Amino acid sequence: MGRFGKEFAKGLILSNPVFVLALGLCPTLAISTSIDNALGMSLAVLIVLVAANIIIAAIRNFVPAITRIPIFIVIIATLVTIVNLIFHAYLPATYESLGIFLPLIVVNCIILGRAEAFASKNPVSASIADALGITVGFMLALLLISFIRQLLGTGSLDVMGVHLFTLPGLGEHPIVGFILPYGAFLVIGVIMAIFRWKGVMKSD
């Protein structure tokens, strides 16, 4: 596996941003109520993270160490504002349902974390691989959590306006708690525990 592949693959499981690094938990908990939200959020993070990593890796040799954090934040905030405007103009439904969590990507520690820990020290190509890997890892985590929450919390699965199926029994009496905030903690907690358990088994 080349460097590109290696940097990409680490984001999926080994440094999965949500389950292993435990970064960006606030938006994850808040928007993982439906698969549509998870997809919208992943798309926004994909655009911002890839663009931020490219720009920061490209200018990394010109950035004075003392002002690097303000510079990174200005770049990230600009990208998030652009995504915010574009979503508002062209994807109004996604914009509405993500609400405040779209502009809050500015302070999402996944983005600044990757800028500081990776893009500011590595060339552009590796930074793209890193951004893609982390985003796909983030997306897989969001999809897994929102799949469980939407399925149990509403009893049926609707993706992008298409009704897939309804669970018998749960359809009439969904476990509403899974849509509520505590349902998010419950689901993430259990998945994190499984990740830890598997990790411990492997290191033995």
Question: What is the binding site for another protein (CB under 8 A)?
Answer: 33, 59, 62-64, 66-67, 70-71, 74-75, 77-78, 81-82, 85-86, 88-90, 92, 96, 153, 174, 176, 179-180
Q: How far is the CB of 99 from another protein (least distance, A)?
A: 9
| Structure-token pair, residue 103 | 């502009």
CA nearest neighbour of 131 among 195, 3, 45: 45
- For residue 55, the minimal CB distance to another protein (Å) is 9
Nearer to another protein, 114 or 149 (CB): 149
* CB of 20 or CB of 149, closer to another protein: 149
Phi-psi region of 129 (alpha: psi -120 to 50; beta: other; left: phi over 0): alpha
Rounded CA gap, 175 and 126, in Å? 43
Q: How far is the CB of 33 from another protein (least distance, A)?
A: 8
Shortest Å, Cβ 86 to another protein: 6
Let me know: does 134 contact 44? Beta carbons within 8 Å: no
Give the separation between CA 150 and CA 157, rounded to whole angstroms. Answer: 7
Please identify, using beta-carbon distances, which residue of 140 and 184 lies nearer to another protein.
Answer: 184
